[in-house]
């Protein structure tokens, strides 16, 4: 059973371009969470999705950022018109049930986005 798969592992974009980050949850998991980690800091919650639905996007910037988790395929975090401040590691986690049920979340290896 493969773990949470994120790709690409490293992504370099020029200012103004779009970044698309992909996350395939563990098999059987229908809950996906995206986090952002700036250097030397902890992880900051961005968005929680359950198949085809956004449950909580309270940590997502209102502009340029969007996330989806279609019925088929991976979850996608999209950042439009990237700026230098978007440079960070973006982590995806998945769980079998909503984490309120005291279940463990499994994290991917992350995508390191560098905006030049």
Partner 1 sequence: SQQGEEDPQALSIQEGENATMNCSYKTSINNLQWYRQNSGRGLVHLILIRSNEREKHSGRLRVTLDTSKKSSSLLITASRAADTASYFCATEGNTGKLIFGQGTTLQVKP
CB-based contacts of 34, cutoff 8 Å, min separation 6: 23, 46, 47, 48, 49, 67, 75, 77, 90, 91, 92
DSSP, collapsed to helix, strand or coil, labels residue 101 as helix
Q: Mask of contacts with partner 1, 71-90, x by CB under 8 A? A: --------------------
The answer to whether 49 and 67 have CB atoms below 8 angstroms apart is yes
Q: Does 108 bind partner 1 (CB under 8 A)?
A: yes
By CB under 8 A, is residue 39 in contact with partner 1? no
Residue 99 in contact with partner 1, rule: CB under 8 A: yes
Q: Is 110 in the site for partner 1 (CB under 8 A)?
A: yes
Binding region for partner 1 (CB under 8 A): 33, 35, 41-45, 48, 56, 91, 93, 98-100, 102, 104-110, 112
């Amino acid at each position: 059973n493969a773990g949470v798969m994120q790709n690409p592992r490293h992504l370099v974009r020029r200012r103004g371009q779009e970044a698309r980050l992909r996350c395939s949850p563990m098999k059987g998991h229908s809950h996906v969470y995206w986090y952002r980690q700036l250097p030397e800091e902890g992880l900051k919650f961005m968005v929680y999705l359950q198949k085809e639905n956004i449950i909580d996007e309270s940590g997502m910037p209102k502009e340029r950022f969007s996330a989806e988790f279609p019925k088929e395929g991976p979850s996608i975090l999209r950042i439009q018109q990237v700026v230098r401040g978007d440079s960070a590691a973006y982590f995806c986690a998945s769980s079998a049930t909503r984490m309120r049920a005291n279940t463990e979340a499994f994290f991917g290896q992350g995508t390191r986005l560098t905006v030049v």
